[in-house]
Structure 1
Amino acid sequence: MRALHDALNRRIAYKEMSPEELRVLSGAPVSVVDVLLAAWSASVGQPAYITTSVAGLIGRAPRTFRRWATDHGTAFTNYAPDS
């Protein structure tokens, strides 16, 4: 989130969803959501698995998320979420 805060030069508020909210709002089958939640839970505190797949596909080093956020920050400046 810090990369987006910095790219937009403003604070972004977010609220973590409960597992039940995700099950209801995602529209995905409950079993799929439960598998994803279990996988995400198991990865907490673990180092990210990093590969060279993206670089191999695009023929160059991929951008960092921070670079992407900076490059695309204007795409978020006129966004107004549904009320």
Structure 2
Amino acid sequence: MRRYRQTLHEYVWTHDRNYWTGRILMAQLLEACTYLHKHHVSQRDMKSDNILLQYDIENEIPQLVIADFGAIGACGAGQVDSLLALVVFF
């Protein structure tokens, strides 16, 4: 199993805020949520501790991964999962 460097929560507290890095991380998060929504899956425990980041160099933009699918939900075609909608518009 691959081990990731930090959670998003840890990253926010240990790194300076950078406008472009924030935009890229948000875009990665929205892309991941769109992928889950397209496959009718919702991660019902979305929080910064369940978003993992990987980067090799300290100033590199991290690669974002959503983790902890223990509280996963599925919805059929035509249904909207309100929890997923909250994450997308957060």
Verify same fold: TM over 0.5.
no
Higher relative contact order (CA 8 A, sep 6+): 1
State the TM-score, normalized to the length of structure 1: 0.26
Q: Which has the higher helix share?
A: 1
State the TM-score, normalized to the length of structure 2: 0.25
